[in-house]
A and B are shown apart, each in its own frame.
Chain A
Amino acid sequence: MNEEHFLEFDEYLQGEMNAGDKLAFEQRMKEEPELKMAFETYKELHQHLENKFGHADERKAFKENLKKISKEHHKKHKSKVIKFKPWYYVAAASVAVLFGLLFFNYNQDPVFEDYNHPEQAFFTERGGADANLKLAETAYNGKKYSEAIPLFETILKTDKSAEIQYFYGVSLLEVNRFTDAEAVFTALKSGNSIYKNKAIWSLALSKLKQKDYKSCKELLLTIPEDYEGNDQVDALLDELD
């Protein structure tokens, strides 16, 4: 297709062709499938742009309205869950104080266990996954990390994806193989996968488990604000201070 064609398409769409030209153009489309295909694409793009820019203001208004309504329902939903009566506050507060008295002094430093929430693995959702993946997933999700580790090692020979590396690293960390785990996480940290920030978090957890609070904090501070587990990061930072 060349410039002439596109000018012609536009004229046709705007209804600016005279009857003779229009008939001739329609005839050519019947005879040249390639011309027809190009025209159809052109027409669709035209519609798309018209829809996109012609309703830009309406679309913006709709999105804002949607956000507002979504928030209202969101809030209603949340407030339903925490409809406390004042009486419960008193009770809850006394229980909290009691617990605080019992445990506070014993545990001034944050502990690994409080922050150790390994996520579930879903390798086999990909479909057609091989047997090792399935086994590794089951072992890992069942917290049988020492069983999962050799399986991950086999898988990593053929599939070096960040996902597998990450779950391998988490397994190593769970069984206290710190040096190995940290090597895996450090590699992920310098990569660009979606596991990059999770890897930094895991490195920090590894330091926490080894009670190296200073390195833990330094690592936490390098995790960007938009990391999905940021409340955990903030909570741990608070505890470390």
Chain B
Amino acid sequence: MNQISHHPDQVYIDGLANNDSEVIHAIYKKFVPKVVGYIKNNSGDEDKAQDVVQEVLILLFDQAKAKKLQLTCPFDAYFFLLCKRKWLNELKKHSNKGVTIDKELTSIDGSVDEMVLQSEHFDEKQQLYDMMFQKLGEKCQELLKLSFALPSMEEVAEKLMVTYGYVRKKKSLCIGQLTQWIQENNRFKSIKNT
């Protein structure tokens, strides 16, 4: 994405991605109290608010690490709306199963809505991928974990005491299996906003 279109608040995103304690403190000081206030006023309490905040910050970390988070709007509004929608979703989950929150957004700024939808979409996808990963056999899971954690496939082969050719082949077949499941799933209910 274009460097120029970055919002100056991108520093918060970069700070999260770098696990910069100073930035995290700043977020807690400047932006979190508003979220906590909102949740407490809407059938929640301090602990629940802290959970929502942490979940959202972890999501932002993941999204930033995947290089898929370029802020084009103020962090304040974006962060608040994400937390708010996550909390409303949580409330609905507990009062009535199977209902997702409507896609109607409440902010006035179109770029905030767009950023929020992007993050929610990223979140949904991650959850789907994780769920499918759990469906894989133990061997596939272990091999994939190692393939991405170790610096080379040679080392994966060594660790698993099999040949290089085998781990290469197995890795692409395991991801292939995931690909098939995801495609079947998408045919079933297409994830919105792709």
Contact = CB atoms under 8 A, between A and B. Distances in A.
Interface of A: 1, 3, 5-7, 9-10, 37-38, 41-42, 44-56, 58-59, 61-63, 65-67, 69-70, 73-74, 77-78, 119-120, 122-123, 125-127, 161, 163, 194
Contacts of A42: 175-176, 179
Nearest to A67: B54
A119 B182 CA distance: 40
11 contacts: A9-B172, A41-B179, A41-B183, A45-B178, A48-B125, A61-B19, A65-B24, A66-B54, A73-B28, A74-B50, A125-B92
Q: Secondary structure at chain A's binding surface: helix, strand, loop or mixed?
A: helix
Nearest to A119: B43
Interface centre among A7, A66, A74, A122 (most CB of B within 10 A): A66
Nearest to B16: A62
Return the 6 tightest CB-CB contacts between A and B, nearest first: A6-B176, A10-B172, A53-B148, A73-B28, A62-B19, A6-B172
A56 B149 contact: yes
B65 interface: yes
A126 B149 contact: no
Contacts of A48: 66, 125-126, 129
Nearest to B28: A73
Interface centre among B28, B125, B173, B175 (most CB of A within 10 A): B175
Given A41-B179, A45-B175, A125 B95 contact: yes
Contacts of A127: 102
A69 B176 CA distance: 40
Contacts of A59: 58, 61-62, 65
Contacts, number: 118
Given A10-B171, A59-B65, 13 more contacts: A6-B175, A46-B175, A47-B66, A51-B65, A53-B144, A54-B149, A55-B65, A70-B53, A73-B28, A77-B33, A119-B43, A125-B92, A126-B92
Contact of A122 (B46, B91, B148): B91
Nearest to A9: B172
B121 to A, nearest CB: 12
B170 to A, nearest CB: 11
B169 A41 contact: no
A37 B66 CA distance: 20
B32 A73 contact: yes
A70 B28 CA distance: 7
Contact of B96 (A3, A70, A163): A163
Interface of B: 16, 19, 21, 24-25, 28-29, 32-33, 36, 43, 46, 50, 53-54, 57-58, 61-62, 65-66, 91-92, 94-96, 99, 102, 125-126, 129-130, 133, 144-145, 147-149, 168-169, 171-173, 175-176, 178-180, 182-183, 186
Contact of A3 (B57, B95, B133, B176): B176
A54 B66 CA distance: 11
Contacts of B16: 62
Given A7-B169, A67-B54, A49 B144 contact: yes
A42 B148 CA distance: 15
Contacts of A73: 25, 28-29, 32
Contact of B183 (A37, A54, A67, A120): A37
Contacts of A66: 24, 54, 57-58
B58 A62 contact: yes
Interface centre among A9, A63, A69 (most CB of B within 10 A): A69
B49 to A, nearest CB: 9
B175 A62 contact: no
